[in-house]
Each structure stands twice: as C-alpha cells, then as structure tokens.
A and B are shown apart, each in its own frame.
Chain A
C-alpha cells in the first residue's frame, strides 16, 4: 500500500514542479508577446485580482489535504461583506467592523466544522448547504442594495501601493499568510497531521492525532480567511453587496486541484497551488489584454482541471503497464 502511495505520489510531485515551470514559462512568453502585460502597473493589477483567490486557496489547500472540502467560502465572503454593510449603516466604526467581520467568518466556519466533525456529516453536502444558507442570509441582510460610502482612507489602502511604487499593499498580507500556511503545512507537526489525516484517517487517529479537532479548526481558519477576504473585497470595490464573490468557490477549488492537491486528501503542496493561482489569473489577464474572449479561459480552466488529475493517473497506469511487461519478459527468460 505504501509502495503504491509512493508510486502515485511521484508523478504528482512532478506535476507540482511542472505547474510552476508552466507558470514561469507563461509569464515570460506573455510579457514578450502580449502588449502591456509585462509592465509594473499590469503586474500590480494581476496581484490585486489574484488576492481573494490566493487567500481562499491557502486554507482550502489545508482542508482538501485532510480529504474534506469547503464549498461555502465564497458565500462566507458574501455574508461577511453584507454584514459589514449593515454594521456600517448602523454607525459602527470601521476599526471595529473589520475584526468583527473576520470573527463572523470564523464563526461561520465553526458551524461547518461542527456539522462535519461533530455530527459526522459529509463535508460536500454540508458545505453545499451552507453555500446556499450563507448566501441566502447575505441577501436577507442587504437584499439587492449596496453599501458604497466606505471611507477613502481604507479603500485607498487596498488599492494603493507600497511607497507609491509598483507593489500593491495587499501583497503584504498575502505573503505573510501564504508563508504562515506554507510553514504550518510543510514544517510543523500540525502539517504532518494534516497529511496523515488525509492519507489515512483511521491510522492517523490510532497514532494519536485528533483528526476531528484538527478538521474543526481548519474549518474555523477557512471561515476566518473568508471573513478577511470579505473585508478586502468590500474595501477594494468600495461596495458591500450580498452577491460579492458569487461563484468564486469553484475557481478556488479549481486552482487547488490544478496545483496538484489530491481531492482524496493526503497529497499536494502549497507552492503548486500558488503557481496555479498565478497561472490562472495571469492567463485571464493576458487574454483580456490580447482581446481574446474570456470564454476561452473557461475552456482552458476546465481542461486543465481534468488534465491535472488525468495526467498523473495516465502516467501511473503507463508505468504499471511497462513494469508488468518487464516482469513478464524477465519471467520468460528465467
């Protein structure tokens, strides 16, 4: 079994490296061939566009690695955004609203975690339920109205750059959180537990890992991250709306899988996911600059998504077939 796992993991690792290589190659080719793509200003736009996807993908990677899924993240963004609008209309200070919004996200994540780990329900079904529930509650709070009178000081920061240079301010929290998640997943006992829980939950709990508790806190983290994205989204577009980030969950899942994380858990690494986010958003950006319809992108995303899983499977099958042929050949000579 472990030999099987190792054999399966090998092509995945090369997938991880491959997606990074493809991303770098695309960035180089696009900056040479697509007009305005390689400019510092455009790089700033790309970073702004990929911020919400990247942040949500960080915690999604952790959750998917444990073998679970969270489809409610985009609805959590919408609900925290709507709640911000209500609090702002109620006259609360933005300095209070922002932490409350993150906290609200954490509570919404805890509800997911409770249903999944406390009641033992399948996370796919639970988070499809909360996907509808949270988005619905967002509409209950704000209806189809928008709250747009956010203070310039804060909206300016989310769009602004460090020292008026080319680097957007939002890159700072992105880097800090990406580094934190990367360290947790790849350099701490918690990270090892995450892989263990995903690879074999029964073995993991026999080994003394509190699988349920681990998953619960990952859902809390995912919710809090979605709350933070809700804050950033609201301020960046200077608009709190119930339909903010609608449908983003599928994009987030797509980049996580594209980055080489197995939907069954236990396999995957953060660098591949980060590369996949950069690849997806910069392809989108380049297509827009080249005046190619963005519909092409949906076809590319879908195909890549399937290929990301199909390719290692096909490689593995090929390798097994080759080995079988070799063993039968040696068997015959002996």
Chain B
C-alpha cells in the first residue's frame, strides 16, 4: 500500500499533506462563497442556498459511488445511463401504481444495483477493462431507456403528491434530497474508512497483485464496488425524478463526465488507491457552487465548462506534486531507519 492509500501514515507531516487536500477544497469553497456573497449578499439567502443544495444532491450521490469504483482502479461511465433507466422505471411505476416514496427509493436502488452487478460481472468475470465495459453499458442501458420510453415522458401530474412533496420539501432549510445524499456520503465514508471490505478496496487499487496475495477476495470486493456505484446511480434516478417531476429518455445524459470531474477534483486518484468519499463530495459541491456563482458574479455562463476543465487539470497536477513529495519523504525516512 502506498503512503497515500492510508488515512493515517504515522507521520504528522504526511497527515497534514493529506488533510490539506480536503482542507484545500474547503478553503476554495469558502473563498468562492465569500467573494460571491460580498458581491451579492443574496447568494447566501435561504432560497439561494436551498437551490444550490437541490442542484448538488444528485451529483453528490453519484460521486460517492464513483469514488468506490475509482478507488479500485476502475471507472463507471454508465452512471448517467443507469440514472436515466432508474428514473424512468421508477417514474412509470409511481405513475402506474401510486406507490409510496420509500418503495420508489427501494425500486430505484434495485434497478441500479442490477445494472451495477452487470458491470461487475463484465469487469471481473469477463476481464474487460472497466473503461471499456462501462462505456459499453453506457450505450446499452441508454438504448434500453429509449426502447422503454420511446418518445413519451413522465410528467409531474402523473406522479403521486407525496413523492413530489419529498422532491421539493426541506427540513430546516435543507432539502430532503440533499439530506439523503449526505446520509449516503457519511455511510460510504464510514464503510471506506472503518470496515474491512472498505479498506480492501484501497488495497486492491494500490496494488492488486499484493492485495490478492494478502487474501483480499478481489472478485467479491469488485462486485461490491460496482453494485454500490450502480445502486447509488439508481437512487440518484429516483431523486432526479423527485426533483424535476418530469422524466424522459434523455435523463442524466452525459452526467458521467460531471461525476468523474467531481471525483477527480475531490482528490480521488484516477488510478486507484487514494481518496475519500468526503473529498469527492466536496468536489461535487465545489462544482455546483461554481455553476451557481457564475451568474451572480456576472461571469458569462459559457465559462462554466472551461473552469471545470481547468480545475480538473489543476487538481490532478496538485495530487501528482503531493504524491511525489510524499514518496520522497518516505524514502528519506526509510534511509534513516536503515
């Protein structure tokens, strides 16, 4: 396991470097919110904050699942299509049966988990590289959504009142949707940090061969990662339907890149073994805040994508710098011991 793969390295200096990563995101968020609010105090009004949290909820959720997969040296490009499929399936089930919100959430999770299991089987048992496998299922699942939906779409008037209330409701200014995402984020964070299966994912991502020799059940762990990512994308589909009320076959189209961007900006190494769910969540939040701050700052909305791109490049360059430094620090420490 590399130094970065562990939450604690046993060295105060390196710990600081690692914490600095999440801290950097918090500082960036604080500066952005501070500057924007200074220019326009309404940016921190209850309504505006609520809008922001609404917008962040789904990306945050998907970023948690993506983190789990990326930690294992994988990637899940199919999340946008899984979200679309789940949103449409649960949307039609809701409009047909008028079932309860809890049941809808369960259905979304199940649809997503099934898609995730498909990815896991192709990646682990088929030995297909994750990028190829999930690019394939990105196409296949989107095609399936189009088959099911055709040109039709589900409107808010078809959905049960209770479900729409869940989508637009909030407690103490925090939307239910965002609360769900934060609960999931906390759960995934604890899973990755405190549970054996979670730690195994870091081991698999750092050095698959060593992890296998150490007795990590690679197949089961990889399946867990893909099923989790799929399930959260499925849950995201339900939240999407609840938030917008209307769902058509293109729901979540192209979303995979936003999610990968959030995860990379959040400090999860694209080649696995390093990163936290909290970082990915902060990355998702930062991207959403940028999105919402631009109009307030009177910067042309067209700059949004360019800024995201520049952020990704800056984030990976920074991580590279940190890991090179960390490796050098370890090496000098090692030479003292010997």
Which residues in A have some Cβ–Cβ distance to B below 8 Å?
A: 69, 115, 119-122, 124-126, 128-137, 139-140, 143-144, 242, 247, 250, 253-254, 257, 263-264, 293, 295-299, 301-303, 305-306, 309-310, 313-314, 317
How many B residues have CB within 8 A of the partner chain? 43
> Given the complex of chains A and B, what is the CA–CA distance between A253 and B131 in angstroms?
10
Contact A135 B136 (CB under 8 A): no
Report which of A122, A124, A143, A263 forms a contact with B300, defined as CB distance below 8 A: A143
Residues of A contacting B312 in the complex (Cβ-Cβ under 8 angstroms):
125, 128-129, 132-133
- Asked whether B310 lies within 8 Å of A133 as measured between CB atoms, the reply is yes
| A interface majority secondary structure | helix
A119 to B323, CA, bound (A): 13
For the complex, give the distance between the alpha carbons of A309 and B135 in Å: 12
CB within 8 Å of A: which residues of B?
75, 122, 126-129, 131-133, 135-144, 146-147, 254, 257, 260-261, 264, 270-271, 300, 302-310, 312-313, 316-317, 320
Given that A302-B136, A313-B128 are known contacts, is A122 also in contact with B142, CB under 8 Å in the complex? no
Distance in angstroms from A54 CB to nearest chain B CB is: 19
- Give the distance in Å from the alpha carbon of A130 to the alpha carbon of B137 in the complex: 24
By the criterion CB–CB under 8 Å, are B128 and A131 in contact? no
Name the distance in Å between A196's Cβ and chain B's nearest Cβ: 21
Say whether B257 contacts A306, CB under 8 Å.
Answer: no
Which listed residue, A120, A140, A301, touches B306 by the CB 8 Å rule?
A: A140
User: Are the CB atoms of A310 and B128 closer together than 8 Å?
Assistant: yes
Q: What residue of chain A has the Cβ atom nearest to residue B138's Cβ?
A: A302
Give Cα distance in the complex from A136 to B133, angstroms.
28
Do A139 and B305 form a contact, CB below 8 Å, given A122-B270, A299-B143? yes
B184 shortest CB reach to chain A, Å: 24
A131 to B311, CA, bound (A): 12
Q: Which residues of B contact A303 (CB under 8 A)?
A: 136, 140
Query: B259 to nearest A CB, angstroms?
Result: 11
Decide: B146 and A131 in contact? CB cutoff 8 A: no
Q: Are B135 and A254 in contact (CB under 8 A)?
A: yes
What are 7 A-B residue pairs whose CB atoms fall within 8 Å in the complex? A129-B312, A133-B313, A140-B300, A140-B302, A242-B302, A253-B135, A309-B128
CB distance from B131 to the nearest CB of A (A): 6
Determine the chain B residues whose CB is within 8 A of the CB of A132 once the complex forms. 257, 261, 305-306, 308-309, 312
